[in-house]
Structure 1
């Protein structure tokens, strides 16, 4: 079949462009895999080009419409490489790229020379550039998906951390009071009722902590607690036991940023929880928050006078906070290390246990 008359000048490229526009419009309304319209339109373009070859020069009509057709095919190549499977994209992309490269043959006189083929290869490079653009967009899409999954994972870990740091703290207090109520039920019912009342309040605080954790996650992880909350924490802990807690926060330490203050609060919560779990014979706990020596860091120190040697989840013979006996201190040590700080825990010479954390302080926003 050969082309002559009006079809040679304009009808064939117009038909190709209209077919391209119709396919894209239909695809926007009812999407299907991008390889099908790309393969169909690439094949159609090659057929139209083949119709021109016996007569050569397609004239200005073919040139103008051919540019529109080439632009559409290049867009399809970008979408194809971005969305289709790699093998399918390679096969269909090669076909469509060949169609783009062959478009120039419609306006070149016959027979085709080596110089003409060199000019076609330039258009093939343009098609290759479109494929590279599609590959870049595909990589960006994959990066966004990974980032979204990582953000979801971090949100899950944040919720788990809150459940451990705050809810577990209250649950430990409930268990401690339940044990006390069980021992006093027969000999001193009034104290047993007091313990039950404290269990109820601890349960309410646990629910409040859970609600606060979920709310904070919805508010993009805004800090929940700070250094000013340590005194209330100490009061609640002292009321339940096993030992009173004394808190001292230096005025200079209060200038630290909110996220650092919250991390310091979490460290104290974990330390007190471990005292309750592992050092029931402790008689006093001291919490001291001070600027570090270089005034660019915050030092958090928690000391209890137990002689059991397991107050912070590690055996007496070890000073490694990641030692067996609990994951809270190990997880906090990783979090502190990620901020460029340090956290150590271990026995002292006075038969007590000391936890020390040094945090880069930052500065509070005023």
Structure 2
């Protein structure tokens, strides 16, 4: 996961360097024109320098740099127009406004605010084209309007894809929380049933064997503590309710059955369960989540790596950690997953794993095999 963040970081750095380099070339043109025309035309490259600085700082101060650049550009246009000077619009200034407008349309919340900023940028660009060279204002205004239109189209498309991604992630998480609600119902019913049975047994033996009541009460208290612990873990991600219920409990036999069914219609799965793990080792909610992560990982292999030669799965316990690892060999990962930032099923799995205090990683391993690793604390 750290390697993926580094890749994204360097891609952003390279894009920033490319943008600044492009604006610097535009600034050289502005300086050459200002040297030829003189006068207030020198305000244009000064505004271009401010635009380069705004482009460098735009990720940290998205709105502030945009507003300052709009004000500088509009002030420059007004000064040139009032002086009656026949000038030329600034290339670096315009390029910086285009870059800043694109970022605003894509990232600023809420959307209405981004639209208002985009419209304001259009007004400033039109003022730049109309005031700097009255003789050719129609030509410059048309060029700047075309540039703004293309920017608005690209920014709107990127914003649409971003909102679509957010909605899909929200839907997956909501579905996962509904599933957690079902499991919460199952776990509570399971624990409460045990408590009731133990309480009835304690009442039965109280008259004939009073000394047996105290151990029974201790067992009831322990069962209640286990129930509260399981409920707290699941409720931490629960934000919705659902009346559906299923049969409670997942066992190691269910995990083996899942891998056997996958092997029957897909790549062979070698599933190994380490020593010290049995049906009573892991908490019920952890065992259920292990089953869901294993199922999601195998489903992704079937969908995105159908040519995999074989799959290695292992469940091991360490001192304070239980680790589930699924790896597929002989088939590269589907590049669409990388472009989308990961499958939506993995979003839901990460939600569940993190709710239990664990971590989920999905990506290429050190040997190039694609792997999904889920870590759970044992306490």
TM-score exceeds 0.5: no
Q: Which has the larger radius of gyration?
A: 1
Which structure dedicates a bigger proportion of its chain to helix? 2
Q: TM-score, normalised by structure 1?
A: 0.44
